[in-house]
Structure formats: C-alpha cells, structure tokens
Chains A and B, each alone.
Chain A
Amino acid sequence: MLQINNLVVQIEDKRILNGLNLTVNKGEVAAIMGPNGSGKSTLSYVIAGREDYEVLDGEILLDGQNLLEMEPDQRAAAGVFLAFQYPLEIPGVATMTFLKASLNAQRKARGEAELSTPDFIKRVNAAAAKLEIQKDMLKRALNVGFSGGEKKRMEILQMALLEPTFCILDETDSGLDIDALRIVSEGVNTLREAGRGFLVITHYQRLLNYIVPDTVHVMASGRIVKSGGKELALELEANGYADYRQSDAA
C-alpha cells in the first residue's frame, strides 16, 4: 500500500534522506529502527507533508496516489495518520471540539456526510474507554497540561477515531512508563487489521515486545540498510547500532 522509491530529501541544504526505498503492504506492521540522526523522524514528516523539507527526488505512493503532490490535510483525508513524538498543545480548544472538527473535515474532503453529534459522542466515548481516558479530559483544551502518557494516549484515540489506512507512530514509546506503554500498545493492536498498514518508528526493541512487527528495517544515513523479520530487532538490541554507524563511515 505504501511505496517509497528513491526518496531524496534535504532541509536547509543538509541532506537527510539519501535514496530511501521502502514498501509496506496492507495489514503489515513495519518497524523502523536506527540511531539518532538517521532520518527516522524526517521520514515520518515527509510522508505526512511537513513544509520545511525539500524533496529533491523520488516518490511516495499510497495506494497508487502520489502523496507528494498533496497538502497535509489532503493526505490525512486520503488515510495518512501520524502519531506525533511531541503532540502539540492547542490552548482554548476543547479536545472534543478538535476531534469533531478533524473528523468532519476529513469526511467532508472524502465527500461523506458529517457525523451527527450523538453518533460522534458515542464513538469518542467508546474509543476513550478502551484507552482509559477519563471523560473530563475530553473537555479540557487539547494536550494542554496533559502528562506525557496522556498526550500519547490522546494520539492513539485520534487514530482510532479517524480510522486511517496508514498509521505512522513516531517514537510513541518515548516518555512512557510501563503501564502507559501497555495501554497505548493495546490501543494500537486493536487497530491492526487486514486493510491497514503501520510504520512504527522507535529506538528501542522494548515497544516491539508489545506491538509485534511483521518486518523490521534498519535505517542509517537516510537509507534502509537492512531489512528482516522481528528477530532483527532482538539482534539490534543485543549488538547496538555500531555496525551500521561504521558502514556509514565507510
């Protein structure tokens, strides 16, 4: 479903991605691991359409549509969801209001009818209960004063509500204690289904104990340098990224 061919990206004249190739199939959970500065977060931003990055070459196809020609909100409506490493605070905007505005904007873009308020509330409450999110949190301004764990759970709540076809999790495990990690992972696992692809970006193998990937890719210097099954993650955990760093230098 997601196909990235020879992607070359720079930011302020600094080359970050160097001819990256990656394919994620429908129903597949692909993990990307790699050392700091290898370009993992850049990859997630470029797929979602963040402005500051200059794409010099290559293409990103989602079900055959060229994402690079679309605005971020069009990509979202086409099914791309990015769970942010650092979710943003939107002061004064109640979480409920934000969720409703996003969901209806996407539905409108896809030519679907807006959801009625009772239907909407039902869906939010169901998703919130699974993620152990208290109702009064939904009335508070989005992410304002939320703890790190609450922010990450809110990202997964949005993911569940918006029903994207392709989900990117950018370092979702960072800043989570073991209980929050379990809740978030369960939230993600319930969304795994045949039609949906996942790209899970992480430093540590720990997250992959909870969200078990189908494939693991190692990223270094803006390229995928090794791909394998879930055992590759364990290997990296044992040996570190040293080998790949050396191969950079070479």
Chain B
Amino acid sequence: MPAVQETIEQVRSIDVDQYKYGFVTDVEMEKPAKGLTEDTVRYISAKKGEPEWMLEWRLDAYRRWLTMKEPDWARVSYDRVDYNDIYYYAAPKMNAAPKTLDEVDPEILRTYEKLGIPLREQEILAGVQTSRVAVDAVFDSVSVATTFKAELAKAGVIFMPISEALREHPELVRKYLGTVVPVTDNFFATLNSAVFSDGSFVYIPPGVRCPMELSTYFRINEKNTGQFERTLIIADKGSYVSYLEGCTAPQRDENQLHAAVVELVALDDAEIKYSTVQNWYPGDAEGRGGIYNFVTKRGDCRGRNSVITWTQVETGSAITWKYPSCILRGEGSRGEFYSIAISNGMQQVDSGTKMIHLGKNTTSRIISKGISAGRSQNTYRGLVSAHRKASGARNFTNCDSLLIGDRCGAHTVPYIESKNASAVFEHEATTSKISEDQLFYCQQRGLSAEEATALIVNGFVKDVLQKLPMEFAVEAQKLIAISLEGSVG
C-alpha cells in the first residue's frame, strides 16, 4: 500500500510547522528607531498628519502607560516582551496615500494575491467571486488599499483607514474614539492608544443597511515589529453592518506583538456583526516564534434595542489573550458571542467574553467551543454581570471543550455577578474527548484518522460556524482541518 504510506508520511511531516502563510514579502520599509519614547509617539502622529488634539491624546496615553503593569492573571506563560526592542511603526516606502492600486508596490499586491485577498475591484466585479466584499488591507503599520470606497460612499457609508478618517472626518472620530475602550482600560489598550498606526474606520448613517460585507485584512510582515491597529465602527440609528477581519503573519523564530483595540458603537435599533478569522503564525512545534495576540475588543450597545454579535474562529497565535465583550447599555439591547478557539502544538489560548448588563431587559448569549490538541492549553474565561438597574436581564452561556490526545488541557473560568434579583443567568459547560471508539467507528467506514477527526470537530463547532457569513464559513472549515492536521495518530 505505497499510496497510504505516503499519506502517513505526509501527515507526520505536517504539524503546526506547516503554516501556509509564513512567507515574507521583500519590500523597502521605513521605520523609526526601535523602542518607545515620546518621540516615537510624535513620529507616528506626524507621519499620519494628525490634528494636535490626537497627538495630545496619544501622549496622555503614553504617560499613563509608563505607570502601568503588564497583566499576569491570564492562564498563559511567556517570556515578557521587551518593549524597547521592537519597532512601533513600519511602513512600506511609497506615496503617502496611494490613490489607485497602480501606485501600490507590486510586491505588496502580490502578497495579498498569494493570501487570496481580492484588491482589484474590476476582477471582483468580473464575477470571480459571487458575493462582493469591500476590503481594507493593512500591511504592518499602514493601510495599503481600500476597495469599493466610491460605491460605499454612494450609500453614505464611510469605510477608510482610521488615519485617513482622522484627517477627513476628525469630528466623528473624536466623538467616538476611546468611548468604548477608555485610554486607561488596560496595559495593552493603553499602549495601543499611544502608538496605534492604522486600522479601519466605519460609519454607517441612520437607517442604512450596508450594501456589502466589509472586511479588513491584517498582515504583519516586518521583523521585530509590533502591530497596533485600531478599529472603530459606528452604526447609527437603525443601521446594519457586517464586518470581518482576517490576519496572517510570516513564520519567524522570535515572537511578535499584536496589540489591537477594536471599538464598536451601536445606536438605537442598530446592528453590528463582527466576525474574526484569526490565523496569526502560531509558532513551531517546539513553541518557538509566533504572534502574541493581546487584543482588546469591545462593543457598546449604546442605543435601545441595539444588537452586537461577535463571532470568532481562532486558530493562530502563540498566545491569545482576548475577550470580545458587550456593554449592554441600551434598554432591550442584545449581545452575542460565538467562538471557536482551536489550539495545537504549544499554543496557549485564554479567551472568552464579558457581557455587562446595564440596561433593562437586556439579553446576551454566549456559545464557546474550545478544541485543544497537541500540548496546547485552552482556557475559556467569561464574565456575565447584571447592574442594579438591569431588571429582566437574561444570559445563556454554553461552553464546550473538546480534547484531542492526552497532553493538552482545557479550562473553563466563568465569573457571574448579579446585583439585580430579576436577572436570569444560565450556564452550561461540558468537556469531552474524541473517543477511540468514535475514531474507530469512522475509520471502519473508510475515513482516515485525520478525516475522522476533522469530521467530528466540524460537528462539534457546527453551531458557531453557522453564525459566520457564508463565504467565510467555508474558509473557516478548511482552516480548522489544517489546524488539526497531525494531531492524531
């Protein structure tokens, strides 16, 4: 049976090592000196041509950051980051703001081509893809291209790099920036506030249903560089938007820091769907290299009957520290969190959500599926709280963990706080292992051990996959299969 032998060899050679997006793009970059001082902050702000108030905002954040300590409560261990040994800004040398794709370095365009991210509108319109998605492509510290801007503008939708929004719509940015994740929220968010370089800005006007999916694609390319992106999405009264972010990075031996902040604001009757397919480089089989993904994501259901839904598929990063949360302020507002977190190799995941019920009759729903393989550790950490005034608050939480093999760990740490007697919180949790019996049963029907594992895992995460926009669900499903290759046998 030589064919099968070949398959076995192939599967053996695959581990977390085989990361499909690990290539490096060779492009000339401009960077300030390594390390972080007030000058670094000024440098970034000047590069972006920001208004004075923005520089002051950043400097204030920087000064506060100096007094803060890196948090250590998460169930992850790693060598602390030397904040003076990284670059805080790295931009491809090119025109300050490329007007058309022809002005973008062809090497960078090729990078996105290789990653399968469509940046040429005409090709998309030519019908290569059935559904259209507007993309903002962020390469290290700057946005290199944003598609469908004109068409979106017709609907009144603003979709542009946040650095551009600071110049073109300063009043909107100023009104909302830092109102969901305050400057001093936490160590990484404060750092981000001081040095954030780019990210996306979205504003949907009242009553508008955004005519297409919006997405941002983050790529860390440069060595020893941190990526600090900032995303701000505002859905005005009665509007709707669905947004997706994707991320990859080259394979490198040293760790790289990614400390992003995402803020969502939903006003009365507005709805925001935010989906993430996170596939940062996870490090090699021995745990060398990989991205430290220390991210603060929070949505504010500020208006009555507003809805914010977080859906995430997390397969990458050496360490994940991330809790996309909802503040349920508006009466009758709803927060949802659907998560699939897969860890393999030496990955460590500490992720979950916070649902903070402040308003009356607010509801929230948490469905979390954690899958651990290899020697990884996977922790769900979640907070559900009801404020004194949150009468009639309801939450349903379901956390399931699946273990593959016997060297990994799954942990569930739920926190529940209720200060209102009428709040009803439900929590369900299960931990299971793919049983030898299930695997044997599937193999007896002709599936290989890998195919059987992928099938069982896909069954396990089905509820959450269904929440992703159609075109990404397929991608996510493939990603899950790749992430788990080599985890059995």
Contact = CB atoms under 8 A, between A and B. Distances in A.
Interface string A72-88: 11111100111010011
B443 interface: yes
Contacts of B437: 88
A90 B444 contact: no
Contact of B445 (A50, A69, A158): A158
A84 B441 contact: yes
Contacts of A237: none
B179 interface: no
B459 A141 contact: yes
B460 interface: yes
B92 to A, nearest CB: 44
Interface in A191-229: none
A109 to B, nearest CB: 7
B440 A162 contact: no
A103 B461 CA distance: 23
Nearest to B451: A105
A71 to B, nearest CB: 7
B446 interface: yes
A105 B449 CA distance: 12
Given A49-B443, A76-B444, A105-B447, A98 B1 contact: no
Nearest to B443: A72
What is the interface residue range for chain B against chain A? 20 to 34
A51 interface: yes
Nearest to A168: B444
A145 interface: no
A92 B458 contact: yes
B438 interface: yes
B447 A48 contact: no
Contacts of A105: 445-448, 451
A80 B446 CA distance: 10
Given A70-B1, A93-B455, A51 B440 contact: yes
A106 B448 CA distance: 10
Contact of B438 (A74, A90, A141): A90
B436 interface: yes
Contacts of B447: 73, 101-102, 105
A52 interface: yes
Contacts of A98: 442, 445, 455
A37 interface: no
Contacts of A71: 4, 443, 448-449
B456 interface: yes
Interface residues of A, number: 36
A102 B446 contact: yes
Nearest to B438: A88
Given A51-B436, A52-B436, A72 B459 contact: no
B462 interface: yes
Given A50-B440, A70-B1, A87-B441, A162 B446 contact: yes
Contact of B456 (A52, A73, A87, A93): A93
A130 to B, nearest CB: 19
Given A88-B437, A91-B460, A109 B455 contact: no
Interface string B412-447: 000000000000000000000001111011111111
Contacts of A77: 446
B440 A72 contact: yes
Contacts of A93: 455-456, 458-459, 462
Nearest to B454: A101
B455 A101 contact: yes
B459 A102 contact: no
A162 B445 contact: yes
Interface in A115-151: 141
Interface string A52-74: 10000000000000000111111
B446 A106 contact: yes
A64 to B, nearest CB: 14
A105 B462 CA distance: 21
A109 B448 CA distance: 10
A90 B445 contact: no
Contacts of B443: 49, 71-73, 76
Contact of A103 (B435, B446, B458): B446
B4 A90 contact: no
Contact of A92 (B1, B445, B448, B462): B462
Interface in B273-327: none
A97 B1 CA distance: 27
B435 to A, nearest CB: 8
Given A71-B4, A84-B441, A101-B451, A91 B446 contact: no
Contacts of A102: 442, 445-447
B1 A74 contact: yes
Contacts of B442: 90, 98, 102
Contacts of B459: 90-93, 141
A80 B458 CA distance: 26
Contacts of B462: 92-93
B446 A109 contact: yes
A77 B322 CA distance: 44
B63 to A, nearest CB: 51
A62 B451 CA distance: 25
A147 to B, nearest CB: 18
The 7 A-B pairs of least Cβ separation, nearest first, read A92-B459, A93-B459, A106-B446, A102-B445, A72-B443, A88-B441, A76-B446
10 contacts: A50-B440, A70-B1, A71-B4, A71-B449, A73-B447, A76-B445, A88-B438, A90-B456, A92-B459, A105-B446
Interface of A: 48-52, 69-77, 80-82, 84, 87-93, 97-98, 101-103, 105-106, 109, 141, 158, 162
Given A88-B435, A93-B458, A162-B445, 8 more contacts: A48-B444, A69-B1, A77-B446, A80-B444, A87-B441, A89-B438, A93-B462, A103-B446
